[in-house]
Structures are given as structure tokens and as C-alpha cells.
Amino acid sequence: MRATLLSLATLFALACSGPAPEAGPDAGSFADAAALPDAGAPATLYFVAIHNEPMNVPNGPALLAAAYPVLQQMVQEATERHLKLTVMLSAQWADYIVADAGRKAEVLGWKAQGHELAAHHHGIHHGNWDGYTDLSPSDAAAKRTAQGKTPETYHGTLADYASHLHALDPGIKSGCVNDEGERSELPDAIVYDTCSGFTNHLAPGTREQDASGEKGRNEYANTGTWKGIARTWLAHSQITNQSKREAAQAAMSVQTGGVFGAVLHSSTAEATQLYAFFDFLATLDPTAAHSRTLIEAIEQRVLPTQALSDELLNAVYTSVAGPGRCGDGVCDDVEKANPTLCPNDCP
């Protein structure tokens, strides 16, 4: 496995003008032999993340109540297949779970089964802001108004956001926190992230759409320091509809080594795509031996690393999402069929 990854790094160095990714320190020190791919088995590890949207709208509680059983079924299906999920929760989802002792026990039980609880944040520039920002309430409202939005309810700072997650699980340190445009969306508590906006398989610093099937290919891990805190980023592809899922599957089918990341939402419309993706994974990895959570994919250090410069991390970027993204202001067919997915696009 290590030889395969080193060859990837060597090829990467030859193909790019920038420096080659360096092997992570003490490569493999977080994983025993049983946790790494067996000889002759598929070499690519993979993680599957579920985004649980904030639904910071007046009927948000009802939308959460409707979406929770969908997430329950997703986790059950994954558990039965011995697949690990990275369940990325907004603060609103954490509040909904903590409010009921039975739900909290159930979700913590998912973690005990090997799934990961992580963070999901919609920043001030997202189509569906979750209400958390380090801007003042007045500045946040002004910014949303300037974007043509009716300002959503302000809930607090990013530290407040993290505290809601930690009320459920103090160990949450990973997620997708919408820092593609501005690193200022990163809470201090989140040190592993999948939403940098950068690719992890092309030249370092290249930006790529999540809708690209290739975006899920992680041949190296991006690293950098923001607010004096060391961070690590992987990337993921959206598998939110059939065409995106098939593009991701095509990219993963030819990947050798490294880590592949896939993401969708806890919605009825997307559950069908998740289960189809599970069927695809079974053809590559029948025993789910290479399924990982996001933290495992990073801390097992099977990837070389590529440091992102302060210049790249400090820059403010425009969206690379393209049409069809949740929050683009367009109520598309998928969103119409599933009103819990993008409530601001389909009010």
C-alpha cells in the first residue's frame, strides 16, 4: 500500500510544477496492519459523508423531524453493510438530537458502532445560512440583505456553533464547514475538513467543483495553519443525483491507492443514490474492509501531504459550485420533490 502511494506522489511531482507532496510523518503509525488494505484487495480507501442541513427557517423544526427518519435509515443500511458513515451535523441538528434523550442515545450509539459524528456549517455566503458567524448580528443581516436574501435568524458566533455540537459529542473535530470561499468560516474546534474548495489530486492550490466526479479523488492531503491551528483537508464528490453518482463511481473505479470521498444529504430524494452507491462499493470492496470515517482516513496517514501556503488560505474566493447547488436560489426538480433539502431555494 505504501509503495503504491509513494508512486502516486512521484507521478504527481513529475506532472506538476509545484513541489511534490511529502509523506505524512510516521506514515501508518495510527493504523495497525489489520486496518490497512490486504494484499490483492482494492487499494483505495473511501469515506461517505452525510450532510444534515441547518434548516434555519420558520418551519425548520418540522423539516428536521421529517428528515431524521431518513438519516436513521441511512445509518441502519450502512451498518448492515458494515460501511462507516461520517454523519455531518449542523448545530440545529445537534439541538434536535440533544433535546430528546432517546435520540441522543441512539446517535451516540452510531458512534459506538464505528460511525463518525462531525460538523456541517452553512456560512454567511451560503444560500441557506445557519445563523452562525463571527460577524456582528447587524453586519450579518446587512450582508444577507445585500445578497438579496431575507436575513435568517442569527444564533451566535462560530464558537457558539461548536458548543452546540459538543453538547452532543465533545469529540467532534471534523466536518464540512463551508470554508471554500473564506477560511474565516472555520471554527477553532474543526481541524479536519472536506470543504476547502481545493482539489486533492491536481496541482496544489487548484480549485474544483464538488459536482466533478474527480473531486473525490484524494491522492494527497492538504495541510495548513489557520488562526494558529494546524488543519488538514480532504475532498469529496457529490453523489446527490444519478449523473453525479455515476461520475463519482467512474472516477473511483480507476483510482489506485489513496482515498475517495463522497457526500450527499439526508433526504428522501438522495437516499436512493446512497443505496445505489453502496451497491457499487460492494462490487469493489465486498467486505467493506476499506471503508473509513473522515478522521480515520486522515489519521491513518496513508496519504502524502501537501502544505497550502498562507497566501492560498488567506484569499477570499468566489464560488466554484456552478448551477444545481443547494442555495443557488433555483428550486430545481430534485429540491421540489424533497422540500427538506433546500428550504431557502424552495420555500
pLDDT in tens, 83-140: 999 999 999 999 999 999 999 999 999 999 999 999 999 999 999 999 999 999 999 9
The helix (run of H) or strand (run of E) holding residue 2 is helix 2-15
pLDDT for residue 208: 84
CATH class of 2-337: alpha beta
Nearest to 186 by CA among 157, 208, 154, 156: 157
> Residue 338 has what pLDDT?
55
CA distances from 261 to 42, 201, 265 (A): 15, 12, 14
pLDDT of residue 33: 29
Task: Output the pTM of the full model.
Answer: 0.82
Query: What pLDDT score was predicted for residue 28?
Result: 31
Q: At what angle do helices 91-98 and 60-80 cross, to 10 degrees?
A: 80
Q: Helix 101-112 to helix 158-168 angle, to the nearest 10 degrees?
A: 80
- Cα–Cα distance for residue pair 253/250, rounded to 1 Å: 5
Which pLDDT value is given to residue 31?
34
**Ranges of residues in the chain whose predicted pLDDT is under 50:** 1-20, 22-42, 320-328, 341
What crossing angle do the helices spanning 60-80 and 101-112 adopt, rounded to 10°?
30
How many Å apart are CA 182 and CA 123, to the nearest integer? 9
Rounded Cα gap, residues 55 and 305, in angstroms: 35
The span from the CA of 345 to the CA of 341, in Å, is 9
What pLDDT, on a 0 to 100 scale, did the predictor assign at position 12?
33
pLDDT of residue 25: 35
- C-alpha dihedral, 209 to 255 to 84 to 174, nearest 10°: -40
Q: Measured between alpha carbons, how far is 308 from 287 in angstroms, rounded to an integer? A: 36
Of 30, 114, 126, nearest in space to 327 by CA: 126
- The string of DSSP letters for 304-329 reads EEEEPPHHHHH--------TT-TTSS
Q: What is the pLDDT of residue 56?
A: 95
pLDDT score, position 335: 53
pLDDT attached to residue 202? 93
The structural domains of the chain, with segments of one domain joined by +, span 2-337
User: Cell 496517514 belongs to which residue?
Assistant: 301
Cell digits of residue 215: 473531486
The 10s digit of each residue's pLDDT in 218-239 is: 999 999 999 999 999 999 999 9
Q: Is 27 helix (H, G, I), strand (E, B) or coil?
A: coil
Residue pointed to by grid coordinates 495510527: 30
Distance CA 175, CA 162 (A): 11
Q: Are strands 45-52 and 259-265 parallel, antiparallel or unpaired?
A: parallel
E strands present in 239-291: 259-265
Assign residue 329 a region: left if phi > 0, alpha if psi is -120 to 50, beta otherwise?
left
Tell me which long-range contacts 267-272 makes (C-beta under 8 A, separation of at least 24): 267/67, 267/70, 267/338, 267/340, 267/341, 268/70, 268/337, 268/338, 268/340, 269/334, 269/337, 269/338, 269/341, 270/240, 270/241, 270/334, 270/338, 270/341, 271/70, 271/73, 271/74
Please give the helix or strand (H or E) that residue 281 lies within, else none. Answer: helix 268-284
pLDDT at 55: 94
